[in-house]
Amino acid sequence: MSTFMEEYKRKLITPEQAAKLVKSGDYINYAEFTSFPAEFDKALGKRAGEENLVNVAIDAAGSVRFPEVVKNDPEMKTFTYYSAHYSAIDRMLGDQNRISYYITQYHDLQKIRGEAVQPWTKKNLSCVLTAPMDKHGNFNFGITTSDTYAQLKNSDLVIVEVNEKIPYVMGGYMESINIKDVDYIIESNESVFLMPDSTKISPASQKIAENIMPMIEDRAVLQLGIGGVPNAIGAMIADSDLKDLGIQTEMFCDAMTAMYEAGKITNKYKRRDVGRSIFTFCFGNKKTHEFLHKNPQVAGYNCDYTNNPKNIAIEDKVVSINNIIEVDLFSQVNSESDGIRHISGTGGSLDYHIGAWESNGGKGIFAFESTYTDKEGKVHSRVRPTLSPGSIVTCPRTLVHYLATEHGIVNIKGRTIWGRAEAVISIAHPDFRDELIKEAQAMKIWSPTNKIAY
């Protein structure tokens, strides 16, 4: 340890010194989500407007802090900013045309960013947030394993920003980097992003969860997204008779902590990582962070391991539950945009939907509230004749398995166009069904006899 500490001290620099290493034309990696390097960003942001610093690109994802490199550079004379998945902060920047979306499926990030398959993804410098160095000289990536290691490997210069508030998450692989592979170290005491504690679940989310629950069997392997439906499902599972459930997920959420506490998660019957839940990042509250810290029941893996559909399909009875924005009568699913306005990203939604279908006994479920209310108080249907103009097709109709709303759950796989239209309309809000039927008839995707067998 003394040798590692000596090396640590030699490589320790200030955030300002680290920021000075950035040159014009550099491509910088900020990593993703909670790995956002706050002190480095603040120091680099102060260099905005320098005459000898131009055309610096920043690659991030799901910004949990407002980036100083953007805040201090309103005309983007020095920095350009990119995100592989939009957060609320990124959406706001998108509305101002100050950010661009980095298009990818989540599991592809490992290959695209980390293996230099595309030469324009190689980074000149990476700075990522880590847990403190352990006695073996390792810096653990904590709750954001993702493609972090791959990006560092594909960078000319590696800087870690150490923060004691980061949970130390046991790993499968690519969950840490050794000091011998680190060029510089900076230290941070910034607060780490925590999901707000919330037990409030809307009646619609509660009903959707009730519709999904019968689809989950003993020994099922779960992937849950974020929001009210996963929280409701977690609470229901905790109070259910289900047993020996497993977890293979991209995001570890608070609902999973609740299921662990209720003794529902054992991972005993998984084909890989027996006895352990695997994930690649976490958005959780303080309780979940404490649960993950040095807990051998969980393991952080890179995003290709957790999200590659081939790996997901290895497990039996995978149940994947993800939210969507809208679906049309052809069963095309949009999970990432409101028309041309970018909202989130493809993320792992498609990865897990495909993997769950390929799993023996698996189920891919897109869950959503059937309506939403706009700023003027008008109610709109999320089931539409066709997707809103400019909307992105996240999941093509050929791949959609189950759709669930508060009004029911339907299996779309293998249905005809007529059958799809009828099935989708059956889970729309009743107030919109007659109009949707008229639209389907006009589009000639409604059976003349209204007797659909398939």
**Per-residue pLDDT tens over the stretch 171-222:** 988 999 999 999 999 999 998 888 877 667 889 999 999 999 999 999 999 9
Judgement on whether residues 298 and 234 belong to the same structural domain of the protein: yes
Inside any domain, residue 396:
yes
CATH of the domain at 82: 3.40.1080.10
Query: Given this model, what pLDDT does residue 112 score?
Result: 83
Overall number of domains in the chain: 2
Judgement on whether residues 247 and 379 belong to the same structural domain of the protein: yes
Inside any domain, residue 39:
yes
pLDDT band, very low/low/confident/very high, at 1 (cuts 50, 70, 90): low
pLDDT greater than 70 at residue 312: yes
pLDDT band, very low/low/confident/very high, at 113 (cuts 50, 70, 90): confident
Query: Given this model, what pLDDT does residue 413 score?
Result: 96
| Mean pLDDT to the nearest integer, 293-320 | 97
| Mean pLDDT to the nearest integer, 280-303 | 95
Q: Average pLDDT of the chain?
A: 94
Q: What pLDDT digit, counting tens, does each position of 319-367 carry?
A: 999 999 999 999 999 999 999 999 999 999 999 999 999 999 999 999 9
3-state secondary structure of 438: helix
Q: Do 250 and 347 touch, CB atoms closer than 8 A?
A: yes
Judgement on whether residues 281 and 415 belong to the same structural domain of the protein: yes
d(CA 263, CA 295): 15
Judgement on whether residues 135 and 161 belong to the same structural domain of the protein: yes
Distances 77 to 41, 45, 73, 241, 360 between C-alpha atoms, Å: 16, 12, 7, 59, 53
Judgement on whether residues 245 and 165 belong to the same structural domain of the protein: no
| Mean pLDDT to the nearest integer, 264-275 | 97
Q: What pLDDT digit, counting tens, does each position of 2-51 carry?
A: 799 999 999 999 999 999 999 999 999 998 898 999 999 999 999 999 99
Judgement on whether residues 239 and 123 belong to the same structural domain of the protein: no
Query: Given this model, what pLDDT does residue 5 score?
Result: 94
Distances 31 to 125, 150, 313 between C-alpha atoms, Å: 11, 10, 28
Query: Given this model, what pLDDT does residue 101 score?
Result: 94
Inside any domain, residue 218:
yes
Query: Given this model, what pLDDT does residue 231 score?
Result: 84
Helix (H) or strand (E) holding 384: strand 383-384
Judgement on whether residues 273 and 322 belong to the same structural domain of the protein: yes
Judgement on whether residues 184 and 76 belong to the same structural domain of the protein: yes
Judgement on whether residues 294 and 409 belong to the same structural domain of the protein: yes
Query: Given this model, what pLDDT does residue 199 score?
Result: 64
pLDDT band, very low/low/confident/very high, at 122 (cuts 50, 70, 90): confident
Distances 75 to 54, 68, 199, 204, 436 between C-alpha atoms, Å: 12, 13, 41, 43, 45
Query: Given this model, what pLDDT does residue 116 score?
Result: 61
Report the candidate in 65, 36, 266 with the shortest Cα–Cα distance to residue 161. Answer: 36
Inside any domain, residue 194:
no
Query: Given this model, what pLDDT does residue 198 score?
Result: 64
| Mean pLDDT to the nearest integer, 410-420 | 95
Q: Domain boundary residue among 156, 188, 220?
A: 188
Judgement on whether residues 9 and 47 belong to the same structural domain of the protein: yes
The one-letter amino acid code at 197 reads: D
d(CA 98, CA 248): 35
d(CA 262, CA 343): 34
Judgement on whether residues 253 and 399 belong to the same structural domain of the protein: yes
Q: Domain boundary residue among 188, 214, 243?
A: 188
Domain hosting 7: range is 2-188
Distances 446 to 31, 134, 404 between C-alpha atoms, Å: 48, 63, 21
pLDDT band, very low/low/confident/very high, at 121 (cuts 50, 70, 90): confident
Inside any domain, residue 320:
yes
Q: Domain boundary residue among 188, 217, 243?
A: 188
pLDDT greater than 60 at residue 283: yes
Judgement on whether residues 181 and 208 belong to the same structural domain of the protein: no
CATH of the domain at 435: 3.40.1080.20
User: What number of other Cβ atoms are within 10 A of residue 108's Cβ?
Assistant: 19
pTM for this entry: 0.94
Q: Do 49 and 21 touch, CB atoms closer than 8 A?
A: no
Inside any domain, residue 450:
no
Residues marked as catalytic: 250
d(CA 218, CA 197): 28
DSSP 197: P
pLDDT band, very low/low/confident/very high, at 373 (cuts 50, 70, 90): very high
Distances 192 to 36, 293, 369 between C-alpha atoms, Å: 9, 14, 31
pLDDT greater than 60 at residue 453: no
| Mean pLDDT to the nearest integer, 383-400 | 97
Q: Are strands 379-381 and 281-282 parallel, antiparallel or unpaired?
A: unpaired
